[in-house]
Structures are given as structure tokens and as C-alpha cells.
Amino acid sequence: MKNLARLAIVAALAFAPMAARADLKAIEAAAKKEGELTWYIAHYTSEGAEDLGRGFTEMTGIKVNVVRTTAQVAYQRLLQDIKNNQTICDVFSSTDVGHYVRLAAEGRFEKYIPESESKILPAFRNFDPAGFYHPTSAGLVLLTYNSSKVKAEDAPKTWTDLLDIKWKGKVSLGHPGFSGYVGTWVLTMKNLYGWSFFDKLEKNKPQIGRSINDTVTALVAGERQVAAGADGSTLFSAARGNPLAISYPTDGSVLIIAPSAIVKGTKRPNAARLFMEYLYSIEASKINAKHFGVPLRPEVPAPPGAKPLSEVKTIRPTVAEIDKGIPSVIEQWRDTFGN
Amino acid sequence: MATSSTEVPVSRAGSRWDASWLLWIAIIAILLILVVSPFFYLVLTSFQAEKTGDFTLSNYATAYGRARYIDALFNSLKLGAAAAALAGAFAIPLAWAVARTDMPGRGFTRMLVLATFITPPYTGAVAWILLAGPNAGWLNRFYVFATGAEAGPFNIYSFTGLVVVIALYSFPYIFIFTTAALELVSSEMEDAANILGAGTWRTMRRVTLPLALPAILGGLIICFLEAIALFASPAMIAIPARFNVVTTQLYQFFGNPVRVEVAAAYAMPLLGVTVLLVLVQRLITARKGFATLTGKGGERRPIRLGRWRWAMFGYAMFVASLSVFLPYIFLVQSSFAKAWGRGFSLDNLTLRNFNFVLFEHATAAQSVINSFLYAGAAATAAVLITLGIAYIVTRRLVPFAEVLGFLCVAPFVIPGVVLAIGFYAAYAPPPLSLYGTALILILAFTTRFLPIGYVNASAAIRSLNPEMEEAVRVLGGSRLMALRRVVAPLLKRSLLGAWLLIFIPATRELSSAIFLYGPNTKVASVMIFDMSEEGNFEYLSALALILQVLTLPLLYIGQKALGRDFMLRRTAT
């Protein structure tokens, strides 16, 4: 009896990877029969998302219904769908890691480990050991500045440089209650320097926007001069000719990882799997880099003005820290900054 | 002065079968579907525990358990009151001058107010951040340049700044309501005052404006509600100014961890405020007669302002420069700029943004078409429904008619995102299965702007003396006939006004659209919002300008199609 059980376990172990990592050819053939899929997407810009969807269609002939919204809206829509026993969404891509922790715990995802996971940058592999969600988009929170007002040599080099009195009234930030990027950054700074970092930062009277991209506006307008900003939106605006530049802090750029997952009960499981594979393809990385995202594949060069991720010192909290920690730093933030 | 105090006995006795009854029942049923079902969901949710759905009061405890949540509520009320008052100060003088006087440039002023109205509030807010930012705002830089002072006096990031920006983009509501009402006041009443010795100002204060009181109050209420329901402008201005309002707080209940139930509970006092406002309006207007349309014809001559005409014109241009001229410098600059941060220079000029938005972007052009189609359908539906409801309420055709009036006004104040969740829950799944269809957006827009239609229609119907319908009834016509042949033609100006008042904000409606659109039904407001989230002002401005340029001719055609104001038989000038 015991042996039988052992045998069953061995058999299960032998077949499990096959169940999760099926033959790509078979998946592709079945996916084409399914014909389309719906993608709730909060990563990327709206153009970037549409471009990625089109890229998939060109490659496979499968139509992608791109529903690009903010992370909260995508999550709310998915929750309502689940409540009403609807499976509209096939692939769910939120920027809020907390959504995945919760949905995975409730068994809302289909387990699937993309075949091509071994080909992406090591930093992105094995994000969820249980195999339900996988990084499909990444960005950095780093130091940004208005290059017509601040010379490169005067620009801040470390996060603690922002505390210097010379930046009084000149710092721009987002709000952790409105932006996952900012929330993760605040948590990382707290882990690194303790909350006193923010008490000191408040003495410099930073201007607090909502989204991390509000820092781009504040810098371009000349309203503020230095910021904790995002690489993608800053470089995009700089590439147009706006006076912006980035500086990789020597104490570490905060790496933000946003995953995707296949929704349980999807009516197009093969199209969804093929799409996950596609997000790890060189083609998808190229489209991503074109829209100033960090390419997941090492073969694809970083967008103009950015360093390859392998040359950047990055730091990031764990998934569990993000899920537990962000709600509490939002409260601390509101105590310190008053909103 | 004719009054509406005499209610019609005929209508009470109208228990004889009348086709109009079917219409009333249909309208009430539509209202139940549009408003009651999402609301029911909302109220229910506010009393449910997160996972289990059991009855609980804990959502209310959470929503009001913290001082900062309650502060946000009071900030919103203060904001609403201040913005409505300021909007009134912008709108009422302009409305009077345009509708009743010989101020020069009346048509121009009207066009400028409409141009203000079609400016999405978030575009206006962005422009004002660039104009009045404390460090780099153009107005401040100009002030420093002109006076040599250390710093400029303007700071958009303040409570006052937010009030000004909101008032600037909501005063057209009051303007349009008030002009519509003033255009119905015949000069005979003013003549009577003049004969009795009152001067121009006194006549305006004591006769003309009081006759338009229901419309003015309606406009103020809409402004108040809009100010507390807006999200984008507070998000851009209040957060840097370090204070919260209801909508920015609500947004955070949707963050991680998501607390929809708490958000629903938190939205409830807004409903209470709406009830209160409707009651106040009732109370103020209850005992006076406002019927200005009496079927006896009448005539209207512009009031001669003498040398004050130019002072009045100056004020109109002052308001217009705050709401249109100054902000549009920014909008035009950035829409033609390679990079807006590089300012004005020839080598920064390009048409690429327009080319991109119109021809290269996958969904932008279609989104503009969608916006117009859905907004048009929603405006038509809302005007018809609210005309019916306002008629039922004003003429008291069914018991508890007041409740219907309240139901019409309530949707405005429920923050769009909360309302949209109710909609999504009610209509996306079977049996209706409206997910991803145009219809779900049209229904949501219709519901969302019922209040504007209703406030306008009820003010209009109150200006109508029932005698005229009674005449139809006495001669054997049905109520439906009275409505079609008498009420609708008499009110066509205000109805068209209402249509525009709904159509325009519906083209820029964001908060419910973002929740309800599907892959093929994206609308321009969602597009613009995405671009603003991405800090992409060059494309954003181009798309916003395209929307504006497309809306203006529609407005023009609308005005023309309406024909001449029937009371202006003689031109006095």
C-alpha cells in the first residue's frame, strides 16, 4: 500500500511537468482553433498594450481583445466576473502583486509555467514558486531630473542625496496610495533607511503627485527639479526632446515586477498559454523596449537612454513584503505627509 | 403675473383610459432599471461583509472610523459650496447680459462659454497647473518679470486653486440653464417694474433674476454635485496641496487591500446631501410662481446698458480668458510641439501628434467616433426620459412623484466608479449580458446625466403655465397630445439646451466609461485619461483639440436648427 502510494507520487512527479509544460506545437494548433483571447492589462502604456496584442495576432493569427485599464479597475472587473461566474478574461496582467497573492490563494488561476521561462533574464525567473503567475513587465524607480536646470554632475547619485537641503522645494514624488510603483519604492526605502528617511524628506517639502508619472509633468514644467521617477515614462518623454534625464542611484534602483496569470476556467486555455509564451518571446521584448519598457529577454537591447538591466544595481522587496507592507506604509505616509 | 397654483381638476379625473398612461408606466419602468437596480446593489453592498456577504455595520465603522476620512468629507462639502458660489458669480452676470441686454459680442460670449464647457476638466486642470504653478507657472513668472518680486502670488496647489479650476469648468451649467430661463421672460414684466419706477438694476434684481430662480438653483446644485463628484482635478491639485476630498479618499479604498464595501458605505452621505439639496430647492421655489410661458405670446427687447455695455463685455472676456484663452495657449502649444517642455520655438513645431492620433494610433480615431455616437444616444434618451419624469412630477400625475424626481438627481453624486461597479454587476452578466457592448456605455451615460436633464426639464416645465395644456384637454386632446403639440414645441430651446448639456459632458465622461468599455468600445475620454496617466501631453492635447474642433460645429448646427427665438418678434435695435 505504502509502495503504491510512493509509486503514485513518483508517477505524479513525472507527469506534473508535462501537464504544466505541454508540447508547444499542440498548444499552438489548439490555440488557433480557439481563435481569440481577452486580456485585462494594466502594464504598459495603452499603445504598448495594443502593440503587443497586435504582435501576437500577426504571429499566430489569434485575435487579442485588449482591455487596458488601471490595475484597480482590471482587478474590480475580474472580481465582478468571478462573482457572476463569467469567464471573460483569459489572461490577467495587473501591476499590483497583492492582487496575485490574493487571487492565487483563492484558486483563481490556472497553473502554467511558460516553456520559455528559462530564456528570460535570471532576475525574472521563478517569481512565484507555485507557478501561477509570472513576471511579464518590469520597470525601475530611480532618480530623475530636469536636465536644463540641473547639471549631470550636480544631480543626486543616491537616494539619501534627496535629503540634502539644496533640494528644498525642488523634489517631486508620487503617492503610494495611488501608485504601486511609488508604494514599492516607499517600502524599499523604509527597509533600507528606516522611516526617518521620510521624516527628513518631508523637511525638503516635496511636491506629492498621484501617479509616478506626475513627476514627469512636474519636472518638464520646471515646477520641480529632481524626482523619484520611473525609467519608462521619463525616457519616453526625454526621447521626444523634453529636458529630462535619469540617474541610477548607487544604493540601488527599485525594480518593479508586474506578473501575468491565466484565469481559472478560461474557455481558451491554449490561446492563453500561447500568449504567455509570446510575452516571453524576443518579439514581445522588442515591442516592449520600443515603448521604453525593460526587455525581459537578454538578447534585446535596452531602450534608448537606459542601461541594460544586467548593469544596474537593483533592489526590491519580496512578494510577501509588498503584499503585507504597502498598506501600512500608506498609513505612515499619510501621517508624515498629511495626505 | 401668471401663477401655476391652479392645478387641473381635469387631469385628476383623467382616469378614463388614455394612451399617455402607457408612456408614464414605461418611463417609470426605465427609471427603475437605470437607477434603482445599480443603487440597490450599492446600498446592499454597503451592509455586506467582504467575503461572506452577511449583514454588517462594520463597513460604516471603517468608513467613518478615522478623522482623516471625515475631514475629506467636510473638505468635499466646502469645496462644493465654494465652487458653486464662484461658478454662480461667473455665470449669472454673463447669462443675464447675453440673454437680456445689448452687450456687444453676445454670440461670441455664448460660443466661448460652450468652448469652456467642452474642455474636459482634467485638461483645464493641467493647463492651470502650468499657468499658476508656484515655481514655474507662467502667470507667476510674468508677475516676477513685471514687478521684480521674489515670487509670484499664485499657487494652484491650494484649496482656492482647486475651487477656481472647478468653478471655471462647471459655470457653463449655470450659464446655460439661466439663459434658457431668461429667454422665456417676456419684457412685459420688466416693463411693469420700469413703469412703477424701478431702474434697470433693480428690475434685474427684483424681477428678472427671481423669475429664473429655479433654473439658477438647478445650475448651482449641478455645480455643487459636480464639484464633489469630480476625481481628476482634485487628484491633480488637492493631493500636491496635501488635502483629501471624498473622491481621492474613495479611490484609495480601491487600492490594495480592496474595500468595495467600505467605498459603498463611504459614498452614502453623498446621497443624503443630494436629498437635502433637492428638498432645499423645493422649499425655496415652492411658494412662488415661476410660470413665464403663458401662451399669450409676449415680446422681448434687449435692455440697453448704455456705457455699462463695455464693462459687461470686459467681464465676459475676463472670465473667458481664465477659462479659454489662457489655457488654450498651452493646449495649442503642446499639441503642435515635438516636446512641450521646450516651449515656444519654430523648430519645436510639428504636425506629428495629429498625424499619430488620427491615422497611426490603433484606436484613437475610432474612440472619438464612439464618444460622439454614445454621447448622442445617451443625451437623446436622457432628455426624453427626464422630460417625461419632470412632467409627471410637476403636474403630479402619479402618487409619490417626488421620489421619481429624487431618483433622477441621485446618480450624479455617486462617484462614477462606484456607480459603474453597480452597473457592471447589474448588466454585464446574463440575462442581459451587455459586457463589452455599446449599450452598456449608453445606459451608464444616460443614467449618469439624468440629473442634468431632470434639473433642466423641471425648471422648464415649471415655467410653463398649465392653462395651455388645459386648453388642449378641454378641447378633447389627450395629455400625450398636449405634451407633443404644446409642451415639447414650447420647450424646444430648453430641451436642446439640455441635450447639449448632456451630450458634451458625456463625450468627456471618464469614471464610468473606464469600468465599462470593452475591446471595441473604447471612448475618447478613456484614451485621453490613459495619455494623461502616461504624462503624454503632446498626444493628449492633440486628441483633446480634435474633440473640441469636432464638437463646435455640432453646437453651431444645433443652434441654427433651433430657429429663431419666437419671442424676439421685433428687433429693438
Residue B425 to chain A, least CA–CA distance (Å): 6
For the record, the C-alpha cell of B290 comes out as: 415661476
Residue A230 has pLDDT above 90, yes or no: yes
B25 and B160 inside one domain? no
Convert the pLDDT of each residue in A31-48 to its tens digit: 999 999 999 998 888 888
Does residue B87 sit in the same domain as residue B18? no
The predicted structure's pLDDT at residue B293: 57
**B349 & B320 share domain:** no
Question: Among all residues of chain B, which has the CA nearest to that of A74?
Answer: B515
How do the pLDDT tens digits run along chain B, 573 residues long? 344 444 444 444 444 556 677 878 888 888 888 888 777 877 888 898 877 778 888 888 888 888 888 999 999 999 999 999 999 999 999 999 998 888 998 888 988 888 888 888 878 888 898 889 888 888 898 898 888 888 888 999 999 999 999 999 999 989 988 887 887 777 777 777 788 877 777 887 777 788 888 889 888 988 998 888 888 888 889 989 999 998 888 877 776 666 778 888 888 887 778 778 877 877 776 655 565 555 555 666 778 888 888 999 999 999 999 999 999 988 888 899 887 777 777 788 888 889 888 888 777 888 999 999 999 999 999 998 998 888 888 877 777 777 888 788 777 667 676 777 778 777 777 777 787 789 999 999 998 888 888 888 887 787 777 777 778 888 887 777 877 787 777 777 778 878 887 888 888 888 788 778 877 888 988 888 778 777 777 888 898 888 888 887 777 766 665 544 444 433 333
**Same domain, residue pair B457 and B517:** yes
Domain match, B277 and B402 both: no
pTM: 0.81
B199, B342: one domain: no
Mutating which of A36, A45, A47 best tests the B interface, going by the most B Cβ atoms within 10 A? A47
The mean-pLDDT minimum among A75-79, A276-280, B367-371 falls in: A75-79
A2 touches chain B (CB under 8 A): no
For residues B422 and A129, what is the distance between their CA atoms, to the nearest angstrom? Answer: 36
**Structure confidence by residue, pLDDT tens digits, A118-168:** 999 998 998 999 999 999 999 999 999 999 999 999 999 999 999 999 999
Provide ipTM, 2 decimals: 0.77
Domains of chain A: 2-138+258-300 (3.40.190.10), 139-255+315-337 (3.40.190.10)
Pairing of strands A91-93, A36-41: parallel
> Is A139's Cβ below 8 Å from some Cβ in B?
no
| Pair A201, A162: CB distance under 8 Å | yes
Contact indicator for A300, B204 with CB cutoff of 8 Å: no
Residues B103 and B30 in one domain: no
Number of residues in chain B: 573
Please give the full DSSP string across B397-422, using - where no structure is assigned: -STTHHHHHHHHHGGGTS-HHHHHHH
- Helix, strand, or coil (residue A256): strand
- Output the domain CATH number for residue B525: 1.10.3720.10
Is there a single domain that holds both residue B80 and residue B13?
no
Q: Is A61 left (phi over 0), alpha (psi -120 to 50) or beta?
A: left
Task: Calculate ∠ Cα B81-B174-B178, nearest 5°.
Answer: 135
Facing B130 at nearest CB: one of A86, A221, A330: A221
**A19 in contact with B, Cβ within 8 Å:** no
What is the least distance, in Å, from the CA of A256 to any CA of chain B? 16
How many other CB atoms are found less than 10 A from the CB of residue B26? 12
Q: Give CA–CA dist A6/A14, Å, rounded.
A: 12
Query: Cβ-count burial of A239 within 10 angstroms (0-12 exposed, 13-18 middle, 19+ buried)?
Result: middle
Q: Do A68 and B530 touch (CB under 8 A)?
A: yes
Q: If you average pLDDT over residues A315-320, what whole number do you get?
A: 92
Any alpha helices (H) in chain A, and if so which ranges? 2-20, 24-34, 46-60, 71-83, 97-105, 180-193, 196-203, 214-220, 231-240, 269-279, 282-290, 319-337
B303 in any annotated domain: no
**In the structure grid, which three cell numbers stand for residue A264, read together?**
481559472
Residue with cell 455617486: B414
Q: Distance, in angstroms, between B214 CA and closest chain A CA?
A: 38
d(CA A260, CA A103) in angstroms, rounded, equals: 12
Q: Which pLDDT score is estimated for A9?
A: 52
User: Per the domain annotation, does B368 fall within a domain?
Assistant: yes
Q: Say what the pLDDT of residue A17 is.
A: 45
Residues B24 and B135 in one domain: no
Q: Which residues of B touch A51 (CB under 8 A)?
A: 362
Do B471 and B531 belong to one domain? yes
Rounded CA gap, A185 and A141, in Å?
7
For residue B276, CA distances in Å to A11, B72, B128, B269, B459 come to 70, 19, 33, 10, 18
A339·B243 Cβ contact <8 A: yes
Whole-angstrom CA distances from B19 to A21, B31, B162, B383, B476 are 67, 19, 50, 20, 14
Q: Is the pLDDT assigned to residue A337 strictly greater than 80?
A: yes
What is residue A230's three-state secondary structure?
A: strand
Residues B19 and B107 in one domain: no
Question: Which of A5-9, A67-71, A279-283, B438-442 has the weakest average pLDDT?
Answer: A5-9
- Give me the pLDDT at residue B572, please: 33
B80, B31: one domain = no
| Domain region containing B280 | 69-258+267-286+316-324
**What one-character DSSP code corresponds to residue A303?**
P
Q: CB distance A76–B527 less than 8 Å? A: no
From chain B, pick out residues whose CB is under 8 angstroms from the CB of A76: 254, 258, 260, 421, 424, 515
Angle at B39 (CA atoms; ends B383, B499), nearest 5 degrees: 15
Q: B24 near B392, Cβ under 8 Å?
A: yes
Whether residue A6 has pLDDT greater than 60:
no
Whether B341 is covered by a domain: the verdict is yes
Beta bridge partners of residue A173, listed in sequence order: A208
Q: How is residue B14 written as a grid cell?
A: 383623467
- Write out residues 53-82 of A within 8 Å (CB-CB) of B: 54, 65-70, 72-73, 75-77, 79-81
- Please give, rounded to a whole number of angstroms, the shortest distance from the CA of B532 to a CA of chain A: 9
Q: Residue A233 burial by CB count (10 A; 0-12/13-18/19+): exposed, middle or buried?
A: buried
Total domains present in chain B = 2
In three-state form (DSSP H/G/I as H, E/B as E, the rest C), the secondary structure along A157-215 is CCHHHHHCHHHCCCEEECCCCCCHHHHHHHHHHHHHHCCHHHHHHHHCCCEECCCCCHH
What is the reported pLDDT for B3? Answer: 41
Return d(Cα B290, Cα B268) in angstroms, integer. 33
A309: number of Cβ within 10 Å: 19
Report the SS3 class of residue A93.
strand
- Sequence-distant contacts of B145-152: CB under 8 A, at least 24 apart: none
Give pLDDT, residue B288.
58
> What's the grid cell of residue B399?
402618487
A248 has a pLDDT exceeding 50: yes
